[in-house]
Structure 1
Amino acid sequence: MSLGSALALLIAYWAGDISRIDSMPQFIRQVAQLPNGWYIIIGVQAVSHLSSYLVPALIYWYHFETRRWPDFQNRPIGAVSGLWIGLLSVVAILPINELIIDWNQHLPLPALLGPVGEWMHRKEQESSLLTAQLVTFNSVHQLLIAVGVIGFVAAIGEEIFFRGVVQHKLMEWTTNVHLSIWLAAVLFSIAHVQFYGFFPRLILGALFGYLYYWSGNLWVAVIAHLINNSLIVITLYFQQQTVYRHTNFRVDITSWFWIVASLFAVLVLLIRFHRLNRNTSIKPS
């Protein structure tokens, strides 16, 4: 259990009438029964995330690297050329990622990896249980809180940690841009401990990494991450509303038209964004 998760569990114990919190699944089930259970769970998620990613990254950056926030980027976000083009790629990649999600979820990992696969399966069940509670909304008020935590808090914490610090350091050590971006994306995906979503998250991590590298501004990656997470949260909210319950919000991954169109759109958008910002990429320091 990470320091952030342990701290979050202690806060949850203090906030609610919880008899035992020996494991995360047990904690989630007990808290979910409380009248204010959802607010405790989303609060625990925020504390866990901040103490696992954002706070350690900033402490390392300011006190060990002795750097400042401007050192994360080469230029202000207002100077990024074709910003909307780069951000639109996050939407365009959704059909491809839906296909990868479906493929990844059907990988027979437990059977192939034995005890390790069984552990991965248990962690996946824990993550699925937590996610199910987090995205069960009763009001627009809760939706806005969820977008704030799952969207913004997650985006800024993970992007500062994995792109601003990890990717930046890997570029210094390896002097290989592409290797650094993909290694940071691998670590980003592993850290979520959701192995049946490893590959789609890997692709997104690489996308955020390239947007950061090409734009020269960390906020571009943060906003891209925010858009991705917020779209998921908002879609899940509408799926729970009675009037939209029978509406299919998912992309039809059986139609190769949408997959090919998605791939073409992503390539065109990223190539264009790269060319517009060719001379302002983040350089190892």
Structure 2
Amino acid sequence: MIKSLLRRPHQELLTFIAITLGIIVIGYLIGGAMVTGLYGLDTLMAIGILDLSNPKVPNALWLLQIVSTTLPILAASLIFAFFIVKDPQTYLRPTFKIHWVLPIIVFCVMIISSPLIECLSNVNQKLQLPPFLAGLQRWMRQTEDQAQKLTTVLLQMNTVGQLIFRVLIVGLLTSIVEEFMFRGCVQTILLKWFKNPHIAIAVTAALFSAFHMEFFGFLPRMMLGMLFGYFVYYSGSIWTAVWGHFINNGTAVVVSYLYQNKKITVNPDDTHIFNWVIYLFSLLIILFLLFLYRTIATGKKQSLQF
């Protein structure tokens, strides 16, 4: 009966948003209760005011993140696909039936995308809102700084065990959860809505980037979202995007660990490693690899257009 009511894409999208928000609220209540029970109310309050001096905060943050956000988003996607629209094959695209070359191309794209990500990050950092929106820009900067503080705490690693844990959570679990949500449910709904795959992929990527609430990293994250979107659209499998997402996140975690423990000297937060020649080279190679990816995934010769 519910499925019959969702005949229009905007109804599906509103339903999915409502389910996601509802489960996240429940997750926050459960997560807050668990943090209070395990670490004390003072730790929960410390998280609320971003008092990172409390030694219990890092573990409590991980618990709160997983219980209040990560697992609820996964649950929302699964509930929507299996019980609301009752079509997980279309909305989640969980098939593993892809050409064996595609994961190799995805790996190459993600590695070669680093210069382009840096370029877009530098452009993003220089963007300024009009003077009458100065208050909004200050709020955006404060939000970004707070998010960066939390990320620094969550990615603090001193042992190999801590590295493995973060690779599994930030690299693997987060990739699965976010791809099920965005390239699975959201992109599928928008494909039905816009009837144009490029618009649907771009809008999904913009929503994906905005979801992270890191405004001064909006452009590079949107570019990644578009890459993931095309991976899924051309292959018909969510796992190509999960693989690319995992490579991006997992690499960031490993590089952070190596830098923190003085195994490498290049700061992963440095955005002035490459130059314009390498930026252009990165763009051209990515376009060629996407063309190759589409050709192999669809199994037919196509012109160099996206």
Q: By the TM > 0.5 criterion, same fold?
A: yes
Partner residue in 2 for 1:206: 226
Equivalent of 2:183 in 144, 163, 186: 163
Question: 1:120 Cα deviation (Å)?
Answer: 1.8
Equivalent of 1:33 in 54, 72, 79: 54
Distance 1:207 1:5, change over 3 A: farther
Distance 1:174 1:12, change over 3 A: same
| 1:50 match: secondary structure | helix
> How is 1:67-86 mapped onto 2 (pairs within 5 angstroms)?
67-69=87-89, 72-73=92-93, 75-79=95-99, 81-86=101-106
Residue 155 of structure 2 contacts residue 253 of structure 2 at CA under 8 Å; is this kept in 1?
Answer: yes
Partner residue in 1 for 2:256: 236
**C-alpha offsets along residues 105-159 of structure 1, whole Å, 9 cap, x if unaligned?**
2333495623332332232122111101011111111111111111112101110
Answer yes or no: is 1:172 the counterpart of 2:192: yes
Equivalent of 2:116 in 87, 91, 96: 96
Aligned-residue Cα RMSD (Å) equals: 2.6
Question: 1:71 Cα deviation (Å)?
Answer: 5.7
Partner residue in 2 for 1:134: 154
Partner residue in 1 for 2:212: 192
Partner residue in 1 for 2:70: 50
Which has the higher mean CA deviation after the structures are superposed, 7-16 or 52-61? 7-16
- For 2:63, the aligned partner's letter is G
**C-alpha offsets along residues 202-248 of structure 1, whole Å, 9 cap, x if unaligned?**
0000100000111110011111101100011111110111343x345
Moved over 6 A (4+): none
Answer yes or no: is 1:120 the counterpart of 2:140: yes
**For 1:75 and 1:51, how far apart are their aligned partners in 2?**
22
Residue 253 of structure 1 contacts residue 259 of structure 1 at CA under 8 Å; is this kept in 2?
Answer: no
Residue 214 of structure 1 contacts residue 278 of structure 1 at CA under 8 Å; is this kept in 2?
Answer: yes
| 2:51 match: secondary structure | helix
| 1:165 match: secondary structure | helix
Percent identity over the alignment is 28
How many residues align structurally? 276
**For 1:5 and 1:200, how far apart are their aligned partners in 2?**
29
Higher RCO (CA 8 Å, separation ≥ 6 residues): 1
Question: 1:45 Cα deviation (Å)?
Answer: 1.9
Answer yes or no: is 1:107 the counterpart of 2:127: yes
**For 1:111 and 1:278, how far apart are their aligned partners in 2?**
48
Question: 1:271 Cα deviation (Å)?
Answer: 0.9
